[in-house]
Structure 1
Amino acid sequence: MVPVGLLLLPLLLALLAGARLLWGQWKLRSLHLPPLVPGFLHLLQPNLPIYLLGLTQKLGPIYRLRLGLQDVVVLNSKRTIEEAMVRKWVDFAGRPQIPSYKLVSQHCEDISLGDYSLLWKAHKKLTRSALLLGIRNSMEPWVEQLTQEFCERMRAQAGAPVTIQKEFSFLTCSIICYLTFGDKEETLVHAIHDCVQDLMKTWDHWSLQMLDMVPFLRFFPNPSLWRLKQALENRDHIVEKQLRRHKESMVAGQWRDMVDYMLQGVGRPREGEGPGQLLEGHVHMSVVDLFIGGTETTAITLSWAVAFLLHHPEIQQRLQEELDRELGPRASGARVPFKDRARLPLLNATIAEVLRLRPVVPLALPHRATRRSSIFGYDIPEGMVVIPNLQGAHLDETVWEQPHEFRPDRFLGPGANPCVLAFGCGARVCLGEPLARLELFVVLVHLLRAFTLLPPAGALPSLQPYPYCGLNLKMQPFQVRLQPREAEAPGLGSASDQ
């Protein structure tokens, strides 16, 4: 017989949750808050960023809605996002400490999910220094080398349909492996790649999203929660093994890769950076952030770029003409260094347009108000969760002409609007933005110089993302034929051939 207490537990938890919601609303009664959208099930809407943008027609660019038991404020325009994240960044630099975040950060608070503090700032500074200073002179050559090897593998499959997102995913994982661990050994790359895939798939499950919105659900059985814990154990085992290897072979004052640099930067007090000190656990979570934030995000963006170019062969042809004009014959070893990327204005404009239309993390990660503040004249109480709708801001008709159209030329010429928020802005701007922009530039230069992108049997990929996504804006799987350009017949790859 089931004990009466167990039967009453769900009712008791529901009553407590309801009381908490009512108490929260009562505390806010005297504030001038953004308008509230009725309902509780907004997270179930397909194409959530577009749905949230649609609500602005009646409510304006800033409003509140309920996600489970919590009110959140949604920002849907460039002006509201920049007011909060740039001009008032100190007020909105926090992160909500929700159950899945705490679980994923179990080893030590990480950069992406960790709450704002002086120690968090020191952690971010160390990781950014490792990325931009520790490997400054070797990052671009490594990306170039691995991209050339990627193109050679693709050349071996010339003309055959290729599942390009999977190939990009292995490439970006190889780059992160090399920069972080100084190792591109295939077994390690595959192990880390599979780990990241498993972790992201499990973390995106709807039952874990519900747990974040209704925390008392943690008292009930949840198979996805168990799978997430298993994926995290596997993640930590891989990272700890690499950290041990580095500590055993490291030479003081020298660094071979980012892990060497970071390990030599922890364990000592830092003047002016608050209580506590950086520990090996912080290096552990920096590595996790680099792989989670730097593998699939860049691979998905590259895949969206290929999909748009398959739909717009005239843009692809203009890009190849630009490359040929700047780099000469395809057989030459000429290259455009990233610092000279302005020599390829159309390529830069194409990357900007892909990032505008398909920001890979369209709702960013949620922010938390660290103190009472305001946005657009509305009061924002301390602790309020704020969600920047980056994709919504990129589709704002008051800023962008024909915002849903793929038009790289909007970023060319005088008066072009260069502001794309795909990597966020302010204190929480994506740590890996410099690396991601380098990868997008280098990979597309090599790919478009070496190949013409063609749809297999004329089957163009869908440009619509999966309607129900987690953190990343996922796309429908598709294939592409990579036709070596030296093998092209006259006119191959022109719009008439599509």
Structure 2
Amino acid sequence: MLLLLLLVLLLAGTRLLWAQWKLRTLNLPPLAPGFLHLLQPNLPIHLLRLSRKMGPIYRLHYGLRNVVVLNSKQSIEEAMLRKWVDFAGRPQMQSSKLVCQSYPDLSLGDYSVLWKAHKKLTRSALLLGARNSMELWVQQLTQEFCQRLRAQAGAPVDIHREFLLLTCGIICGLTFGNKSDTLVRSICSCVQDLMNAWNHWSIQILDMVPFLRFLPNPGIQRLKQMVEVRDLIVGQQLRQHKDSLVAGQWRDLLDYMLQGVEQPGKEQGSEQLQEGHVHMSVVDLFIGGTETTATTLSWAVAFLLHHPEIQRRLQEELDLELGPDSFTSRLLYKDRKQLPLLNATIAEVLRLRPVVPLALPHRTIRPSRIAGYDIPRDTVIIPNIQGANLDETLWERPHEFWPDRFLPLGKSPHELSFGCGARVCLGESLARLELFVVLTHLLQAFTLLPLEGALPSLQPQPYSGINLLVQPFQVRLQPRGLGAPCRGQCQ
């Protein structure tokens, strides 16, 4: 075993030196010294600090390879918007292969003609398949959510857990046409267990040192078990929908995507979408549409607990627009500009705490250039979204929670929390709709109060995976009685 390990290290070192030799004539971004950068507890902020010494574009050692980090809005948009074709690939990481298994994934899949068809199908399902039901469904479930919370008024509430169940219920309803409590809770639990297993250091280290996958690793077995549970739940829903499918009609997103998949044998010899693509589209909707939105809502509550004056102004804006005694009044999302402070607050939360602060890694599919630097083919690119959102050359008082920076609407640059270009988050429109509707309902119905004067931490959990998670906290919800003004606790 020791000899095998030494041989692998020798081969890897030789390969690394040969790769560096081939690049000797290129004008590469500067290389930051050190090998342990990616072990930093607050990695996005650490990468941003490095940019003050190295510039907005630099390289880092990532195990046995170098990666290029983009830390400015300008460099990210140059790569992902203006030269998107060059940077549209995905590196095939060991952790991604474990999560995808035998199914072709959309979020983690590499760029290809088939991937483009997969993206088009999923995007069409979100834009067309749920066009008439999406907002109605979000409004209905959010109203039920607030009614449940009223039963807990005054008691400590694990608000993040409640947001998880709400967002999972929304995705369940839109995707499966089913919001049963049993299904919602089982999927919610599955998503959390899967993300915990995926983000564990024993899995993440495989991306840095791939040959470690050949050594005993309980984390791999745990992740495979969670993937099996995931696929069992999705597979059951697929079978039920196929058995009751009516041609030309769709009840939910799954019906729409199943009918959008070409039947095998129509084009012999050519690649075409299969049922497995639909399977992974459903997985992406749950992975990307539950924890991320729930976490952003939790960050919004945490910031408002720290800034009761902003909460008071938001409630005054809602009362002025919808009426202080009309807690059943609803504002359509298309009319959201009538609540400018709420929109500005959402933008500020997304700017300060993008849930996926380093996005997902990209890969160059052909040689390119950024800001004068050569970027070879097959280079792994890390867009530091949080770093770009905190760029001192772009944002005034960048680390401060200050929603008024976005007033009037359109005054400040657009934050990059959902990415941009070909790999932009397909669920962005749904996520923004949910943030608007849920915060509107929540602030109409309740005044948010800290638990026994203990404010939640605004420091994220140590970054060790994909999401920028809020530290656990509880909140008290004080119902806003009909016509009652905001009491002294929110002063």
Q: Which residue of 401, 420, 444 corresponds with 1:449?
A: 444
> Match of 1:160?
155
How many angstroms apart in 1 are the aligned matches of 2:77 and 2:88?
A: 13
> Match of 2:242?
247
> Match of 1:26?
21
Q: Over aligned residues, Cα RMSD in angstroms? A: 1.7
Query: Does 245-254 or 16-25 show the bigger shift?
Result: 16-25
Matched residues, number: 490
Checking the alignment, whether the CA contact within 8 Å between 2:449 and 2:490 is kept in structure 1 is: no
Deviation at 1:305, TM superposition (A): 0.1
Write the letter of the residue equivalent to 1:216.
F
> Match of 2:218?
223
Q: Which residue of 307, 321, 335 corresponds with 2:302?
A: 307
Checking the alignment, whether the CA contact within 8 Å between 1:314 and 1:494 is kept in structure 2 is: no
How many angstroms apart in 2 are the aligned matches of 1:148 and 1:493?
A: 26
Deviation at 1:87, TM superposition (A): 0.2
**After the TM superposition, which residues 166-205 of structure 1 pair with which residues of structure 2 at under 5 Å, given as runs?**
166-205=161-200
**After the TM superposition, which residues 146-157 of structure 1 pair with which residues of structure 2 at under 5 Å, given as runs?**
146-157=141-152
Deviation at 1:53, TM superposition (A): 0.3
How many angstroms apart in 2 are the aligned matches of 1:191 and 1:161?
A: 24
How many angstroms apart in 2 are the aligned matches of 1:69 and 1:460?
A: 43
**After the TM superposition, which residues 1-12 of structure 1 pair with which residues of structure 2 at under 5 Å, given as runs?**
6-12=1-7
> Match of 2:362?
367
Structure 1 residues 362 and 271, CA gap change in structure 2 (3 angstroms)? farther
Indicate whether 1:101 and 2:96 are aligned: yes
Taking structure 2 as the reference length, the TM-score comes to 0.97
Q: Which residue of 391, 399, 406 corresponds with 2:401?
A: 406
How many angstroms apart in 1 are the aligned matches of 2:440 and 2:95?
A: 38
**After the TM superposition, which residues 7-86 of structure 1 pair with which residues of structure 2 at under 5 Å, given as runs?**
7-86=2-81
Deviation at 1:352, TM superposition (A): 0.1
- Per-residue Cα deviation, 1:19-62 (whole angstroms, up to 9, x for no partner): 12112211211110000001111111121000000011111100
Structure 1 residues 106 and 278, CA gap change in structure 2 (3 angstroms)? same
Structure 1 residues 28 and 73, CA gap change in structure 2 (3 angstroms)? same
- Per-residue Cα deviation, 1:262-295 (whole angstroms, up to 9, x for no partner): 00011248999x9410000000000000000000
User: 5+ unaligned residues in a row in structure 2: which ranges?
Assistant: none
Write the letter of the residue equivalent to 1:254.
Q
How many angstroms apart in 2 are the aligned matches of 1:489 and 1:232?
A: 49
How many angstroms apart in 1 are the aligned matches of 2:180 and 2:244?
A: 18
> Match of 2:455?
460
Q: Which residue of 351, 354, 360 corresponds with 1:356?
A: 351
Structure 1 residues 347 and 415, CA gap change in structure 2 (3 angstroms)? closer
Q: Which residue of 113, 118, 121 corresponds with 2:116?
A: 121
Checking the alignment, whether the CA contact within 8 Å between 2:67 and 2:380 is kept in structure 1 is: yes
Taking structure 1 as the reference length, the TM-score comes to 0.96
Indicate whether 1:237 and 2:237 are aligned: no
Checking the alignment, whether the CA contact within 8 Å between 1:92 and 1:367 is kept in structure 2 is: yes
Checking the alignment, whether the CA contact within 8 Å between 1:465 and 1:476 is kept in structure 2 is: yes
Checking the alignment, whether the CA contact within 8 Å between 1:112 and 1:289 is kept in structure 2 is: yes
Deviation at 1:12, TM superposition (A): 1.2
Structure 1 residues 13 and 237, CA gap change in structure 2 (3 angstroms)? same
Structure 1 residues 204 and 488, CA gap change in structure 2 (3 angstroms)? farther
Deviation at 1:164, TM superposition (A): 0.3
**Secondary structure class of the residue paired with 1:259:** helix
How many angstroms apart in 1 are the aligned matches of 2:236 and 2:7?
A: 45
> Match of 2:84?
89
Indicate whether 1:382 and 2:377 are aligned: yes
Indicate whether 1:325 and 2:286 are aligned: no
Write the letter of the residue equivalent to 1:262.
M
Deviation at 1:332, TM superposition (A): 5.0
Structure 1 residues 304 and 332, CA gap change in structure 2 (3 angstroms)? closer
